[in-house]
Structure 1
Amino acid sequence: MAATAAGCQHYVRKCLLKAPCCEKFYVCHLCHDDEENHKLDRFQVREVKCAVCDAVQQAQQACRRCGVTFSEYYCDICHLYDKNKKQFHCQPCGICRIGPREKFFHCEKCNLCLANDLLGKHKCLENVSRQDCPVCMEDIHTSRIGAHVMPCGHLLHKTCFELMCRNGEYRCPLCMRSALNMEEYWEERDVEIAQSPMPPEFNSRKVKRQCNPALSQAVMEYRGKCVMC
């Protein structure tokens, strides 16, 4: 598969990877996976071909024949070639992340790199990043799309979360807890309720129903507001 000086739609690079599974050359593992009926394990890549002089050689950052630099960033573990996005290789994650490194920490329980502003402020779930996105059912851990951490601790692709919100769905697809801070929404509902008084015969009426945020069989006010949360 031919490469251009710019690489492919996924990465900016001047080389092609030799797939150890089928010994074909592709610009990246994603290009390979789109064409073949099997997946390329980029960790097993041993050889690359220069897109400038066609020299096949051991995986490295610069061509041994013409001297061209294959990419601004190179990881000799992931065999990731790309333009500089301040990437860093996270050993516990086992892959490269877009940085800079100093803005992230690795949560041992979640087994995931998270932004520093979530340190001590997120709910930990064991190996949460090793699950597929519950919206698109695609892998989250190795995805090039960033992950969105919800208050319940579950993860979605950021793009999937935005799509979910645009479609008027504000609950986690896995546990059904609120995915957003709903205080403003409830304040608006309180104003609407105040403008439409309850008929006297229903003032003390209550019902029982499951409250997802409280995760209990809560006693609910007739208008639907949980008395526990």
Structure 2
Amino acid sequence: MGGAHFPGDNDAGEVDAACCDGEVDLRDVGKMEHGCEHYRRRCKIVAPCCKQVFPCRHCHNEATVSGDRHTVCRQDIEKVVCLLCDTEQPVSQACVSCGANMGEYFCDICKFYDDDTEKGQYHCNDCGICRVGGKENFFHCVKCGSCYSVALRDNHQCVENSMRQNCPICYEYLFDSLQGTRVLNCGHTMHMECFTDMVKHNKYTCPICSKTALDMSHHWEMLDQEIEATIMPPVYRYKHFHNLPRTNFCSLLLLTNQLASHRGKPPLFGCFATTATRSQR
């Protein structure tokens, strides 16, 4: 059989030795002792596309990035190799040879194994894949096309298939990404880590629609107070302007009236023409 040898592979005697010594239940032999950087599991997959053996589909996809680029569809996996006895076999939770569970959590739809059940894995029929975090903590939004935290039920802006897009920052496909995601106020989505980096660089708007990505109410109130405390120079009082030179002071005046208009107030200083809106910040 093709493929490579990976760290954590054991010989066939591990199961017999552990069980004879009365250490653990047969099904629990080797639990949490094997796997890769993505999952703890006691089997490797046989990629249906190239017939090579890999710890998981993510390891396969990463290994083919620089060469013959192709990815594994999780539902197409038909064969696995037990890491305890090295037996190749059809997909199932328990090894047909040694009897050990190849994954404490097992999904026969996604052909998915994972020993680390603290992740709270569950299969979403609407998404068609397994997710983590505990089924009780999530609901499936039909319009957005993905599972969202129950905190967002009736409390988010729906955007059709918002999760079936690439992250606007790193361009990784969001729907089945291993990274956490954030739903912005506008309904668009991005990786949580990418969002954090964006805010650190003082970018507070959605990269897709330019609407405010955070609750900026407190910030606007502080600007209101600062601008209203600014004394208008006599030369500008009671005058109407439409095309002002781009100076810091004039930008301040434009912002003053912009803030005022969005609060339903009349212009605070003169009358300045602007097409910007709060939602575009």
Query: One fold, TM greater than 0.5?
Result: yes
Q: Which has the larger radius of gyration?
A: 2
* 1:114 maps onto 2:142 in alignment: no
Residue deviations 1:104-162 (CA, integer Å, cap 9, x gap):
11111111111111111111111111111110001000001121000000000111111
Mapping 1:109-148, distance limit 5 Å: 109-148=143-182
Q: Could you tell me which residue of structure 2 aligns to residue 105 of structure 1?
A: 139
Does the C-alpha gap of structure 1 residues 189 and 181 become closer, same or farther in structure 2, counting only changes over 3 Å? Answer: same
Displacement after TM superposition at 1:203 (Å): 4.8
User: Which residue in 2 is equivalent to 1:216?
Assistant: none
Structure 2 equivalent of residue 211 of structure 1: none
Aligned residues between the structures: 218
SS in 2 for 1:222: helix
Q: Distance in 1 between matches of 2:145 and 2:185?
A: 17
Q: Which moved more, 1:182-191 or 1:123-132?
A: 182-191
Distance 2:126 2:110 in 1: 13
In structure 1, what residue type is equivalent to 2:36?
C
> CA separation of 1:207/1:131 partners in 2, compared to 1, >3 Å: closer, same or farther?
farther
Of 82, 88, 98, the residue aligned with 1:66 is 98
8 A contact 1:171–1:178 mirrored in 2: yes
The 3 A distance-change label for structure 1 pair 14 and 193 is same
More helix by share: 2
What is the one-letter code of the residue matched to 1:21? C
- Name the stretch that deviates more: 176-185 or 32-41: 32-41
Distance 2:236 2:207 in 1: 33
Detail structure 1 runs of 4+ shifted over 4 Å in the superposition: 203-208
Partner residue of 1:217?
Answer: none
| Amino acid in structure 2 at the alignment position of 1:134 | P
Q: Deviations over 1:147-201 (max 9, x none)?
A: 1000000000111111111111110000000000001211222233244323244
Q: Which of 1 and 2 has higher RCO (CA within 8 Å, sep 6+)?
A: 2
> Gaps (5+ residues) in structure 2?
9-32, 244-251, 263-277
What is the one-letter code of the residue matched to 1:76?
A: D
Q: Which residue matches 1:90?
A: 124
**Percent sequence identity over aligned pairs:** 40
- Separation in 2 of the partners of 1:93 and 1:221? 49
Change (3 A) 1:57 1:164: same
Deviations 1:56-99 (A, max 9, x none): 01111121111222122111111121121111111111111113
Q: TM-score scaled by structure 2?
A: 0.73
Normalised by the size of structure 1, how large is the TM-score? Answer: 0.88
Deviations 1:15-49 (A, max 9, x none): 00000000011001110011122111121001100
Q: Which has the higher strand share?
A: 1
- Equivalent residue for 1:223? 255
Corresponding position of 1:2: 5
1:207–1:221 CA contact under 8 A, matched in 2: no
Higher mean Cα deviation, 185-194 or 76-85? 185-194
- The residue identity in structure 2 corresponding to 1:113 is C
Q: Name the residue aligned to 2:272.
A: none
Deviation at 1:221, TM superposition (A): 6.0
Please tell me whether the aligned partners of residues 206 and 221 of structure 1 are also in contact (alpha carbons under 8 angstroms): no
- Displacement of 1:53: 0.9
Query: Structure 1 stretches of 5 or more lacking a match?
Result: 209-219
* Aligned AA (1:26): F
For residues 106 and 154 of structure 1, the distance between their equivalents in structure 2, rounded to whole angstroms, comes to 16
